[in-house]
Amino acid sequence: MVRLVLNNESVYVDFSIRSVSDNYYCLLRRVIDGFPDRARKQKLQHRILFGTDFPVNLMSIDSYNAYLDIFSRTEHLTAQEKRLFCSENPERFLFLVGN
């Protein structure tokens, strides 16, 4: 999936069902940091969307609040990355802002 993002200008990815524990964010951190090339790392960071597949993610976690709490509390992502994934990237994806 990462290869698709990096090789195509209109491909974005999201996470939801996989991100019901902090372990997921640890793995995501490793993927992001696995690119020594700053431009490719930044491109990936700007193409990830916070997933809100509400019915799907509730199959693996007690509540939507718990899902949001894990994301908001993880120390594996920076505040800037959280802002990108939740706000700036979806705005770019949905409204072609900054493309």
Number of helical (H) and strand (E) elements in the chain, helices listed first: 7, 2
Contacts of 7 (CB under 8 A, 6+ apart): none
Q: Tokens in use for 81?
A: 């990355």
Indicate the pTM of the whole model.
0.86
For residues 12 and 89, what is the distance between their CA atoms, to the nearest angstrom?
9
- Mind listing the pLDDT tens digit for each residue in 2-54? 889 999 988 999 887 767 788 999 999 999 999 889 999 999 999 999 976 66
- Mind listing the pLDDT tens digit for each residue in 34-45? 988 999 999 999
Closest CA to 15 of 80, 81, 98: 81
